[in-house]
Each structure stands twice: as structure tokens, then as C-alpha cells.
A and B are shown apart, each in its own frame.
Chain A
């Protein structure tokens, strides 16, 4: 998938999207899905990462646990975490000395800071194949956060409905007016306890602070020096526009 169409999906494709197919659930892959009266699926309370299997305009390649092929580089919702043991490893091959192997396999550990958290954490970016995996890992690390994605509004709004009593009707209105194209690659984290939203930003090699998610994953890994989860309220000029709050007609 070329970078140009990665961030934008034309209207016709949106209509053609089978929302049911792309629906997120909280269950693990393979778990039976229980449907409610509203037709929305429920599952046990877990993170999103295990269930994401979204293909945008490509052939349907499921990659739950297998190592993804090269095409998943730009797919922000790619498959399983990279595992060296899954690839064939020969002893003593390629024939390079230990000192060179160390240079190559050193991993890319970067600091992660969350505004308001008392200490920082470190993650090895080479452990992940996609933005989704990284954000899931951050979600685990900073357990107060959950990933909020605009990609599947249905579940998100269910979440809001249950936690914040926003009516289903007003959310339906919202979906109809929603410009999904701009937010395909948007990733935000949220602390559901206080509703504070965080925007994932990173410092690149030139020292500039960038929004996470704009460049292909591998490019990000190479250029990222550290990550900061910045409060949305502070991310003026950097954070994407939040969707217009729709009027509550409930």
C-alpha cells in the first residue's frame, strides 16, 4: 500500500466497508461472540490488540500469530509481534563475528514519558511490527490507559455509552457526519478514570517533536529517539482536530 492512500480512504470505499467484518470486539480470537439486541458485539474485557484484523483495500490476509510478511510494514494494524524464533535460524549463519552481531541486534530502546506519571519507562521498538502493537504495549505498561481509536466508532461509542451515558442516538448521528478519512491513522490513548486524553508524540533524530503515526512503521523505528504521551489539551498545533461534538438529541 503506497503512503499516499494510507491516510485517506475515498468515500466509496467507506460505504463498501463491511462494518461487521471490521468490528472490534474485546474477546480473544476464536472466542464466541455474543450479540446484544442492538446488534453490537460484546466480549470479555481485554485490550483491542488481539482482535484487530483489519485490511484496508488489500487482500484479506489474516495474521494473528504468524509473522507478517513485508507488506504489513505500512499496515498500522498489522499482525503478531515479531518473534526471532519463528524465523529459521542457523547456528553460525550468517558468518559474522560476535562483535558485529551485537551491533545489529542491539534493539532500539527508547524512553517513554507520560505527562503526569512519576517515572518513565523504556521500550524496545524492535519488538513490534506496527503502531498498533506499540500502543498496545504502552497500554499494558501504563495500565490506566486504553487505546481509543476512531477506526471503529461502533465499539468506541458503545464504550462511551456504557461509561458516560451518551445516548446511542446521538452517537449514531455522529457516525453519519463523521469524516472517517482523516482519522484512519489516528491513535490516541485515554485514561478512562478521568477522561484525560493523551496524544502520542515522539522526538526524531533531528530533535523535532512529531505526531506518532504519520510515517511508515520502519521509518518511525529508525528515527524515533523517545516517546512522550502528551496531554491533548497541551498538544496545540500538533494534535489532530478532534471530531465536532455532536448535539445531544437524547
Chain B
């Protein structure tokens, strides 16, 4: 019946299908739908930049306007992937430019971006509107200057946790006076900024909704910026301290008065440097906040955090440091009844853990916040009883990531592994998509995961399991698994090779410090030509003994349609 509709109608209907997975499904229905989707698709998501080539992307989706690309494996965030591994955006930008694609939005994660790439980007796409870089590296503020100077209709420049070399230029001043279209600007990961240029920029961009400053922006400047931009919805403060000058009380008073005018702020972050006595200035806006991120605010004590949290009754997402303590989490539980996402980061990963959180805090949260669906929790210890209670209180987890700072610590009360606790979580949260495990764990936890985690897409394993059975339970049971990353666990060739076809249904598999051997990886690579099986060998090439029985230190494999990559460095060996 849909075949009798002209293509334009189909297109219009497909416009309402926004999730890229749904669009992918739409394209598989029939040739007609494939064709209509193909020419009308504007947003494309590529989870592994080496799975496909830019040429093939352009050939299939000539109308692409918004592209998301991801490069390095997730464990690169934790220094497990050496420098120069890969993930270069340059070939993508060059290809898109050559083909005169009307690119408007580019979102990159864990990729290597050069100043030249940014320069080409800024000059090649006249309607370019939005650049979001997350955990990227390889560029300097010169590249940012090019973006600022050349992208006439830039709406969004969002730099999250990138490694950027800062030159003496004032890149912010490169935004022309005619640039008045900015809606979102985030430079929190930089160390310096030109304050005068910043104030001028804010003054002439009345549509600014999201602004995240860096630690070079002092309180006085923040106050002036807020005067200019009371319409902000999303604010990241810079430095939130006052030195001991005589003007201080005046600045503070002005800040308080200005903040009262900022009635639209719903997301608050920053506090990269903070003097706790300045915090009361933000109490008036706490009431309306739905997202609060204090995870970089090392200077705030547990007791002060608690005072602050008591004002935040409408919070839905909270990112905080573990110095809030179990007591603080109890306050969160009683105050933030709408809480959906909680992230508790460690403040002292190598310390004795005086100010930290335990299972007590988590149980309190689960008890007070039944809407909780996303958790990242760094803690000193966890018990099975607590996890079972949490599972019962919160059956809606989509993401559950637990990190016990001592990675093989058992339940301190019973001295048992945490298999039962995690088993309870996967059994109760039927919509669980992402899971990270820690603590002492046997094969049993993987049995539970294979049995119950039907929607699981991403699993992170560290220092867990006893035998190949563990890994097999997961590979056999989790039908929707896309990403599996394993470190320091006793899984070997037998598990790796049992079901080689499985890996084509997944995006990628990472295994480091496990029991897989070179021979096992070679066998896999031979059997599966549409997988790239990469061995990362950081030792001197000459010393690397090519013995099949040798254990492989780091293996990363991923499905691909374009064969071994040509930009692999010397220490990456793609098996064939």
C-alpha cells in the first residue's frame, strides 16, 4: 500500500523516524524504502570510523548533513591504548569537502583532529553550524581560531574533555563582529581564555543558551556575563573563588543579585575552583535545576555539598564526587525525588578513602529515588545484600556501572563474590543496556548475565571470572551485545573461537591481559575476513616473538566492510 505513495510522502513520513536505528530498520524493509531513506537521510551515526569508508558513506547518503564519528576504543580513555593508534578525522573531512557535501554538524568522539582538519572543515561547508568534540586530541587553539573566523553561521562549539594545545593567539577574538548566531559554547577544558573577547562575544549573541566557562574566568567576569545573558539555560561556571580583596563583598553581592535574575538556568556545572563560602550565591537557582555537575569541584566538603543539595529538589541528574559520603547520599535520597541519573566519582583514587561512599549510600539512593535508571558509582566496597536491595528498589536501570576501587574486593560482610548481587540487578532491570562489573566475581555472574540481560548492548569486565565458561555465557546469552571490553580476566582461545560469527553481530571486542594467544587470534582472523583483528604490541618489534602460543597483551577486533586500515601504526598488527 505504501508503494502507491509518491516518494515525497514516504520521505515526510520517514522524517518522523528520528532514531538512527529505526531509520536503519526502515531502510531494510524493501528496495523502495531503502532508496527513499537513502536520499532523504540527513543524520548518520558511525560508531566505528574504521567500519566503513568516507567514500561509501557519501555514496549511500549524499544528503548527509549531520555526522557522528567515533574513533578509538573506549579503554583509550583510561590510557590502555597507545598514542598514535589511529582514529584520524582528516580523511573524512577531505572526502566530504571534495564531494561538496552540505555538512552542517559534526560530532566526534575519541578521534584525532588536526588543526588542518579544522581549517579545511571551516572553509569547506558554508552552512556549517555545529561542532562537538568529545575526548579528542591533536589540535591547538589555531584550529579553533579557524572555526571561529570562517564558520559564519556557527551555532554550537562544544569542547568536552579534549586535549588541546593552547597557543598565544586569542582564538575567541576571531569570531567576527557579525557572528551573532551562537547558541552553545563550551570551552571548559581549556586553561586560558581572552576575557575581553569573551565578554564581547556574549554581549552580541543574544541566543546563547548554553555557556560553559573555564577556570580562567573569575567570579567578577562571570557576574558581568550573567548580566548580559540572563537567558542562559545551561551554565558552567569557571572559577568560583574570591580572593581577599576589599572589593570582594561587593563582587559577591553583585553576583547574588545577578543570579536572582537568571531564572532560566536548569543545568549547572563547572566550579573548577571553588571557595565554599561563595556557594550560597547559587542557592536561589538550585530550586529549578534538573542537572547539577559538581564532579570537578574538589574544593567542596561533604557538609557543604549537603547544604547545597538540600536546595535542589527537582534534580534529575546529579554528578558528584565521593566526598559527599554516605550521609550526603542519604540527603540526596530524601531531597531529589525525581533523580534518574547519578554519577559518583572518586576524589582520591589512591588515597586511604576517608571521604568516600559505600553500599550504604547506594541503598539509600535506591530507596529514596525509585526513578533511578542510570548509575555510575565509584565506591570503597559493595555487598550482595545491598545490590539485591538496590535491584528491588530500582527495576528500571538502563545503565549500571559499578566500580569498586579495589577491583577484586569481595563482599566485606560475607567475604563472598558479588555474583549474586549483580545477578539480582540484571534479573530485575529488564531494560538494562549497559553494565560495568567490579569486585570479586566468578563465572557465575556471567551465567546470570547470559540468562537475564536480554537487552544488554555494552559490557565492561575487569579482573573477573575464572574460566572460558564465563565469556561463553555472555557471548551465547546476550543477543543484543554490541560492545564487549575485557581486561585482566582469564578468558582464552577456547572462548574466543567458539562462535566466530558472533563478532559480526557486534561492533567490537577488546581483550587485554587475558589468556588469548597469537595463534587463537590468527585463527579468528583467517575465518572471519570481515573482521579486523588488531594486535597492539607496545614492545620493541624486534623482540616480539611470533610464537602462536604467546599470549597477546592487547587485542581489538571489529567488524568492517573495508578491510584492514591503511593508517595503522607500527605497533598495531592487523592479522589476516
Contacts and interface: CB of A to CB of B under 8 A. Distances in A.
A176 interface: no
B78 A92 contact: yes
A236 interface: no
Interface of B: 75, 77-80, 135, 161, 163, 189, 244, 272, 275-277, 295-296, 298, 301, 345-350, 352, 354, 378, 403, 405, 407, 436, 460, 462, 487
Interface of A: 70, 73, 84, 87, 89-101, 103-106, 205-207, 218, 222
B79 A100 contact: no
A96 B78 contact: yes
Given A92-B75, A99-B161, A205-B275, 20 more contacts: A70-B352, A73-B354, A84-B350, A87-B350, A91-B79, A91-B80, A93-B78, A94-B349, A95-B436, A95-B462, A96-B346, A96-B378, A97-B78, A99-B189, A100-B345, A104-B298, A104-B349, A205-B276, A206-B277, A218-B354
B305 to A, nearest CB: 14
A101 B354 contact: no
Contacts of B244: 207
B83 to A, nearest CB: 12
B277 to A, nearest CB: 7
A90 B275 contact: no
Overall SS of chain A's interface: loop
Contacts, number: 63
A93 B462 contact: yes
B539 to A, nearest CB: 15
A94 B354 contact: no
17 contacts: A91-B79, A92-B79, A92-B80, A92-B487, A93-B78, A94-B346, A94-B349, A94-B378, A96-B78, A97-B77, A100-B345, A103-B296, A104-B347, A104-B348, A104-B349, A106-B298, A218-B354
Given A94-B403, A95-B78, A100-B295, A70 B276 contact: no
Nearest to A94: B349
Contacts of B276: 205
A91 B487 CA distance: 11
A161 B243 CA distance: 47
Q: Which of the listed residues A99, A101, A106, A205 has the most CB atoms from chain B within 10 Å of its own CB?
A: A99
Contacts of A105: 350
B358 to A, nearest CB: 15
A106 B276 CA distance: 18
Contacts of B135: 97
Contacts of A90: 407
Nearest to B272: A103
Nearest to B488: A90
Given A104-B346, A104-B349, A218-B354, A95 B295 contact: no
Nearest to A203: B244
Contacts of B163: 98
B355 to A, nearest CB: 9
Contacts of A98: 77, 79, 163
Contacts of A73: 354
Contacts of A100: 295-296, 345
A17 to B, nearest CB: 29
Contact of B301 (A94, A104, A222): A222
Q: Which of the listed residues A92, A106, A206, A207 has the most CB atoms from chain B within 10 Å of its own CB?
A: A92
Nearest to B353: A70
Contact of A95 (B189, B354, B403): B403
B81 to A, nearest CB: 10
A113 to B, nearest CB: 15
Contacts of B345: 96, 100
B190 to A, nearest CB: 11
